[in-house]
Structure formats: C-alpha cells, structure tokens
Structure 1
Amino acid sequence: MIAALPLLALPVLVYNLIALTGGAAGLTLTLFSVRMASGADWPVTTGDLLLAASLVVLFVELLKSTNSRRAAIVNHGLSMLLFVVCLVELLLAPAFATSTFFLITLMVLLDVLAGFIVTILAARRDVDFGAGVGL
C-alpha cells in the first residue's frame, strides 16, 4: 500500500511546513552561493532546492506510472487528489501564491496526466482486437 502513495506528496508536505511556519520568506532564504565560471555568484535558495528535489521525485513518479498493477491505479487516484489539494492551496491560501508552489502544482498535474496517459496506452497495447483477422 505504501507503493501507492504519490511521492510528490513529499515536496508538497515540505512546502506546507516551510510556508506555514516561516511564510514565503522561508523560501527565499539563500542557503549557499556557487561561483560560476563567468565570475558571477549564483545564490541557491530553499525554494530552488525544493524545486530541484521535486523534479527528481517527478522523474521517479513517471517511472512508477509505467506499472499497471492495482497499486499504480490507486497511485493515479491519490495523485489526482493531491493535485486538487495543491490547486485549492494555490488559489485560496496567500502563503501558497508563489512561483515555487505553482511549479510544484504543475509537476503534480504532469504526474496525473502522465499516469493516466501511460495507463491508457498500456491498456490499448495489451488489448488486441484482432485487426485484419478474417479480412
């Protein structure tokens, strides 16, 4: 049953913890700077790291969506529920009206769409209607 839980709930949970305890200012906190070859400094913020981690989690979720077991179907449903929660938070809660949370919500939407599309394509491939037989 644990395999059915959408992994993108983790970045959403982390964002919720940051936004509800420190507000949006917690996402703009510069953690460190990277000196680029051009000589410019690239400040890496908490929001940047959260987005990078979310992209890695999205990749793993996309790999999980290729499975057509019962757990994958439950995962698709829970991902849809997570998207609805993210959308409501984005639209109604001021602490979630940031580009960082919008991009995380977009990743959750992509996970939902990819999961359903991959499942439909796999089902179409598994079902052969006997095209061309007897013609």
Structure 2
Amino acid sequence: MIGFPLLLIPIAIVNILVFLMPGVSFTDPIVTLSLMSRAAWTVTFGDALLALGLLLLLLEVVKGSRPGGKYFMDHALALLVCGGAAAEFLLLPRFGNSVFFLLVLMTLVDFLGGVMLRLRQRRLRAATAGRSAIVVAEAPASQPASAQPAPLPVQDNAPQPRPEPVAPPPLATIEPAHSSPSASAADQARSVLDVRPGAPTEPPR
C-alpha cells in the first residue's frame, strides 16, 4: 500500500492561498491570544502552516520508523513533493518567503529521514538474518551429542547386597548316656564330651 505524503497538505494550502486567494497574505493574523504574562500573541497564517507542517513531519517520522513502514514508492513521492516545492520557491515570486522555505525544508527532512531509517532497518534485518543462520548451522552439529543419554554417576557408597545368613548346623541331640548303676561321675562326663560336634572321638575301649 502506497503511503500518502502528509507534507503535501500544507504545500497544497499554500498553493490555494497563492493562486485562488491572492488577497490573503501569510502575515495576516488569524487569532490573538493573551498569555499568562499578559503579552498578546498574534497567530498568523504562516505560523499556523508551520505548526501544521511540524506535526505532519512528526507523523511521517513515526510512519517511517515502523518495520516496513515506508516502501520505495513512498520515498519517491516524498522526493517529488520536495522537488516541486523547491521549484515553486525558486521560480515563482509569490512563494519566495520564509514560511514556504521552511515548508520546503521540512519536505527535504522527510525524504532524507525516511531513506536513512530504511537503510538502518535493512542493516538490522541483515544482521538478524546472519545470526539466525549461524544458530541454525550450529544446531545439527550439537544435536547427536545431546541425543545420547548421559552416563549415570558411579557412587562409591552404593549399598552392597547383604549376604544371606547361613543357618548354623543343627546341634546334635544329646542323649543321656545309659550307664549302669555302678558308673562313676567321671565316666558320665566323658561320655557327654564325646558326643559334642567337632570333638575328637576316641575309639571304643
């Protein structure tokens, strides 16, 4: 979409005043305001046109600062407005005044500022595209390493499996020795020691 050059509005108003209203001068007062200092401020046609031009120049700068805010045709139209206004200022005597000169200067600032903003945005886009290309190129190289699972850390103090308790061998049942009424206490004690597990056995007598 082609943007309309806003500074064409005050230029068109000046042309209307010059060609269609020759009796109107840029120094004619529009309104007189009383300030807090009790001074009387007289606003003329020239002052109103310059204030309007400044506001429209601010809007043009805001439009140009947006990403993709101005295209090539917008800059071409701004250049045509600047060239036409400069030609009127130099060739036509009714346009040779300070008010119209300042309007021509605003159109030139609009054109040069739009071109500088466009070049700056292009450099920023190129730098951003270069950084994104570097990131995309480095991503496949780091992907296999990240896909491998990380080895689990070896813990020295890991709990070791406890050995199963070994049941002790069953004790041999001690049967009372059948002794004769005539056996002594020493023979009964010797017979008890002979039946303990692990004790050396003596051959029978």
Normalising by structure 1, we get a TM-score of 0.87
CA distance in 1, matches of 2:97, 2:21: 14
1:100-130 CA-partner distances (Å, limit 9, x unpaired): 1001001000000100000000001111285
CA distance in 2, matches of 1:96, 1:50: 14
CA distance in 1, matches of 2:124, 2:70: 20
Moved more, 105-114 or 70-79: 70-79
Q: Is the Cα–Cα contact under 8 Å of residues 20 and 95 in structure 1 kept in the other structure?
A: no
Match of 2:20, SS state, is helix
Q: Which residue of 2 aligns with 1:89?
A: 88
1:9-50 CA-partner distances (Å, limit 9, x unpaired): 111101110122234842111111011222221110111111
Q: With CA pairs under 8 Å and 6+ residues apart, which has the higher RCO, 1 or 2?
A: 1
Normalising by structure 2, we get a TM-score of 0.59
Q: Which residue of 2 aligns with 1:19?
A: 18
Q: Which residue of 1 aligns with 2:33?
A: 34
Q: Which residue of 1 aligns with 2:126?
A: 127
Q: Which runs of 4+ in 1 moved over 6 A?
A: none
Which residues in structure 2 correspond to 1:77-116 (within 5 Å)?
77-116=76-115
For structure 2, the 5+ residue unaligned runs are: 135-205
Q: Is the Cα–Cα contact under 8 Å of residues 79 and 111 in structure 2 kept in the other structure?
A: yes
Larger radius of gyration: 2
Q: Is the Cα–Cα contact under 8 Å of residues 6 and 75 in structure 1 kept in the other structure?
A: yes
Match of 1:22, SS state, is coil
Q: Is the Cα–Cα contact under 8 Å of residues 65 and 72 in structure 1 kept in the other structure?
A: no
Aligned identity (percent) is 31
Q: Is the Cα–Cα contact under 8 Å of residues 31 and 44 in structure 2 kept in the other structure?
A: yes
CA distance in 2, matches of 1:126, 1:19: 45
